[in-house]
């Protein structure tokens, strides 16, 4: 039966090839599109699995880069029971690296507190050194830095070289690689040096990383810290005009940019905001929500109640699980787009197979009549046509999965710092099974139509 079905397909090569092309294109597109969503989830998982602690930042800020909070609050967080290590962090955008603009992909300067970083049990960047070494106590106040392997490759730098960042000369002492495109974008430098180079207010930090003591529940610790700062008048972060332009105004935005945009809730950007009048990394002023300067109470960290009178959270504390939930919400919208685009290809492929099998059945009515006259049952004819359409689905699925998988490898090799596609074995097996089901479904109607005819009716129709 299978041999007979294959001979029937081979006897009409042009029509069979056209049906295969339609199905192959549809499956290739499905693999390619869903590998984006799978790659995003895999990247996020790889990223946040490396961050077991908590991040405290300004309420509403999508990532620490956009957060500003009083440096004095870090000392208060240390007093909370269950806290092991508290590391103040300072982030800013690097506009130019070695004379090249860093819009795509983005680059960031991470001002770390070296003493507390060395005390941590687990620390991203410190534990991922590939060449050279990480920052030590002797590097406090110096222009030494650690860069990612991606930055080192783009700038042709290695430990011992000098790299120019926004006009500042930094000595590279180490190269790290985390394997996550969301993390391999930073230039790590001593926090005090970053403040001096970019004239940042010493009373302000971007965020605080908190490492809990052993057996301390992150959820309980997060709740305790939030309660301690509830009612503080820090102000909820809102995207400024510069932020909007930086995230959504570029057609060539990277996955990291889109990730930030998704967390920022950029769907609300149409609402009027008070634009910021300065950039903290260029004008030397650190701004809070809506471009407003921090008040004296906020800088000093005094326990003042918000003007609204409500006990709003003055500090947002997130765990890796919280970040994962945010990403799932963002990727669910992305999945809808993937389903819509894949659905178009699936409909085209289904119509192509349906047309092929319908024409094949119509042309072979005499053959079916003779077969039924020689003892073939309706079930035998149904199986024959189902085998033919399933063979089209299987071959189209194999070709589509192969091309889709090769395409993801080519994209990842071409732009490793901007996109990370992943055609998982589960996705490939699902696509192959779906292709076969699509092929059988396309041949179902012609098969049922042919089996209802008697031998004489089949011969007379032909």
Cβ proximity of 356 and 18 under 8 Å = yes
State the average pLDDT over residues 167-180: 92
Report residue 357 as tokens.
């099998």
Q: How far is CA 372 from CA 11, 354, 377, 378, 422, in A?
A: 21, 23, 6, 8, 49
Q: What is the pLDDT of residues 181-211, one digit of tens each?
A: 778 899 999 999 999 999 999 999 999 999 9
pLDDT for 253 equals: 45
With vertex at residue 299, the alpha carbon angle to CA 293 and CA 303, rounded to the nearest 5 degrees, is 120
- pLDDT > 90? residue 21: no
- The 10 Å CB-count burial string (b at 16+, else e) for 193-215 is bbbebbebbeebbbbbbbbbeee
Q: What is the pLDDT of residues 216-273, one digit of tens each?
A: 888 889 899 999 988 886 666 655 544 444 444 444 444 444 444 444 443 333 333 3
Lowest mean pLDDT among 319-323, 328-332, 447-451: 328-332
3-state secondary structure of 443: helix
Cβ proximity of 327 and 46 under 8 Å = no
DSSP letter (8 states) at residue 135: -
What residue segments make up the domains of the chain, in order of their start?
A: 1-46+321-460, 54-249
Short-list 128, 182, 218, 186, CA closest to 327: 182
pTM of the predicted structure, to 2 decimals: 0.65
pLDDT for 252 equals: 43
H helix runs in 240-310, sequence order: 241-248, 255-264, 280-283, 296-300
Short-list 395, 392, 397, 399, CA closest to 359: 392
């Amino acid at each position: 039966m299978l041999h007979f079905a294959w001979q029937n397909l081979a006897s009409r090569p042009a029509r069979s090839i056209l049906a295969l092309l339609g199905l192959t294109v549809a499956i290739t597109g499905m693999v390619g599109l869903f590998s984006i969503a799978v790659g995003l989830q895999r990247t996020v998982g790889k990223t946040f699995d490396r961050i077991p602690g908590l991040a405290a930042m300004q309420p509403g800020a999508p990532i620490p880069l956009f957060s500003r909070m009083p440096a004095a609050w870090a000392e208060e967080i240390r007093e909370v029971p269950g806290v092991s290590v508290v590391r103040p962090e300072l982030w800013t955008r690097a506009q130019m690296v070695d004379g090249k603009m860093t819009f795509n992909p983005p680059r960031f300067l991470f001002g770390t507190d070296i003493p507390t970083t060395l005390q941590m049990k687990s620390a991203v960047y410190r534990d991922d050194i590939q060449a050279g070494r990480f920052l030590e106590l002797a590097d406090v106040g110096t222009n030494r830095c650690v860069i990612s392997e991606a930055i080192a490759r783009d700038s042709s730098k290695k430990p011992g070289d000098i790299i120019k960042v926004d006009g500042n000369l930094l000595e590279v002492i180490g190269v790290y690689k985390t394997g996550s495109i969301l993390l391999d974008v930073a230039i790590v430098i001593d926090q005090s040096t970053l403040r001096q180079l970019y004239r940042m207010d010493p009373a302000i930090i971007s965020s605080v990383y908190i490492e809990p003591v052993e057996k301390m529940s992150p959820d309980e610790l997060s709740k305790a810290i939030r309660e301690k700062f509830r009612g503080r008048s820090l102000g909820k972060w809102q995207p400024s005009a510069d932020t909007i332009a930086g995230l959504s105004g570029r057609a060539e935005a990277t996955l990291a940019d889109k990730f930030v945009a998704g967390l920022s809730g950029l769907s609300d950007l149409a609402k009027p905001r008070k634009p910021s009048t300065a950039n903290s990394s260029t004008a030397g002023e650190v701004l809070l929500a809506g471009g407003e300067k921090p008040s004296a109470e906020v800088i000093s960290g005094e326990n003042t109640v918000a003007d609204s009178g409500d006990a709003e959270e003055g500090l947002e504390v997130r765990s890796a699980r919280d970040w994962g939930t945010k990403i799932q919400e963002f990727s669910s919208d992305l999945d809808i787009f993937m389903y819509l685009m894949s659905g178009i290809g699936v409909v085209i492929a289904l119509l192509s197979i349906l047309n092929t099998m319908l024409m094949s059945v119509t042309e072979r009515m005499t053959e079916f009549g003779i077969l039924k006259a020689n003892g073939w049952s309706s079930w035998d004819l149904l199986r024959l046509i189902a085998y033919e359409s399933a063979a089209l689905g299987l071959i189209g699925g194999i070709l589509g999965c192969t091309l889709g998988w090769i395409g993801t490898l080519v994209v990842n090799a071409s732009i490793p710092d901007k996109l990370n596609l992943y055609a998982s074995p589960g996705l490939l097996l699902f696509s192959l099974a779906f292709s076969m089901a699509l092929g059988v479904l396309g041949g179902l109607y012609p098969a049922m139509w042919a089996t209802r005819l008697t031998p004489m009716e089949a011969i007379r129709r032909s």
